[in-house]
Structure 1
Amino acid sequence: MTTDQTPAPADGYSYTLTRTLDAPVARVWQAWTAPDQYAQWAHAVPGSVELDVRPGGAWKATMQTPDGAEFPLTGSYVEVAEHSRLVLGMDIPGRPDPALMTMELTEQGPRNTVIVLTQTCDTQEERDMAEQGSGMLLDGLERFLADGAKG
């Protein structure tokens, strides 16, 4: 995994996480966009995930930390390019515009997919927390895909 942190105080604080996954791009896309699969790897409370994967479609999930704390998250899809790119908006209390995260997939052969997550946050602290959460998401996705051809 590579991580790039690019502070740009005028525009916020960005991070980029990149991993190569041992799965075809269609499998990675399905894991990210099918509610039952997403719930299995994304640390979501069972039954809390709703994904309307289309531009303007809403998503919601209640995430659970290892210590049992729960965090309800909501947002919408800004851009959807099947098997290649998702831009998700996340609702942030007190913020007029959603925080955007971009997920890009690139197929490298029949069984390898490069996934890149990028996000820009308002503060370094927000960026660090978002980057940690995104790293946990990628860890969970990697484990889910390694567990075999479920779904």
Structure 2
Amino acid sequence: MSAAQTAATGGFAYALTRTLDASADAVWRAWTTPAAYSRWAYAAEGSVEMDVRPGGAWKATTVTPDGGQVPLTGSYLEADQNRRLVIGMDVPGRPEPAVMTVELHPEDDRRTRIELHQTCDTAEERDVAEQGSTMLLDSLEAFLGEEG
């Protein structure tokens, strides 16, 4: 895991890497199937909709640890099955979406290295996004372990 300031964009970026005990196909399905995604991504039941293709929309309502609900929306900028997913996340008051890149690197039929990258406008935004993404990876890893 690493966080760094990105000079070229003037923003702040983080990158998280983890090796999961699951095939790239299983990881891809977890990220792109509403029923699976809602089970590991802290989403309210029935709130996830996904049109996984470039230009396709997604939405989900995240349930916070205190029981609050946060509606999220966005679009898919890239979708290369079992390899790369680039997700645009709508941010209120910002004209451009925040962008997260998910890259999958199969190590063999049972293990996949996943890399998440995101560039943010401020160090605080980066820190919050990195913390949230770390929690997502923890939950994804537990979910895939149950599914395996």
TM-score tier by shorter-chain length is over 0.9
Question: Whole-Å Cα distance in 2 between the matches of residues 148 and 26 of structure 1?
Answer: 13
> Which residue in 1 is equivalent to 2:135?
136
Corresponding position of 2:48? 49
AA aligned to 2:5 is: P
Give the 5 Å matches for 1:26-45: 26-45=25-44
Structure 1 stretches of 5 or more lacking a match? Answer: none
Give the structure 2 partner of residue 66 of structure 1: 65
| Partner deviation per Cα, 1:50-109 (whole Å, 9 max, x = no partner) | 010000000000001111121111000001101000000000011000000000000001
Q: Which runs of 5 or more structure 2 residues have no equivalent in the other structure?
A: none
Amino acid at match of 1:11: G
Distance in 1 between residues matched to 2:126 and 2:70, nearest whole Å: 17
What's the secondary structure of 1:147's corresponding residue? Answer: helix
Distance 2:3 2:107 in 1: 25
Task: State the alpha-carbon separation in 2 of the partners of residues 26 and 124 from structure 1.
Answer: 33
Question: Letter of the aligned partner of 1:82 in structure 2?
Answer: Q
Tell me the distance in 2 between the aligned counterparts of 1:8 and 1:30: 31
State the one-letter code of the partner of 1:88.
I
Counterpart amino acid of 2:3? Q
Name the TM-score, length of structure 1 as normaliser. 0.95
- Counterpart CA distance in 2 for 1:18 and 1:146 is 17
> How many pairs are equivalent?
147
Percent identity of paired positions between Structure 1 and Structure 2:
59
Superposition CA RMSD, Å: 0.9
Q: Partner of 1:127 in structure 2?
A: 126
Report the counterpart of residue 117 of structure 1 in structure 2: 116
SS at match of 1:27: helix
Give the structure 2 partner of residue 4 of structure 1: 2
Any idea what SS the aligned residue of 1:75 has?
Answer: strand
Q: CA separation in 2, counterparts of 1:26 and 1:8?
A: 31
CA distance in 2, matches of 1:120, 1:148: 31
Correspondence 1:101 to 2:100: yes
Q: Cα offset for 1:148?
A: 2.5
> Matched residues in 1 for 2:6 and 2:84: separation?
24
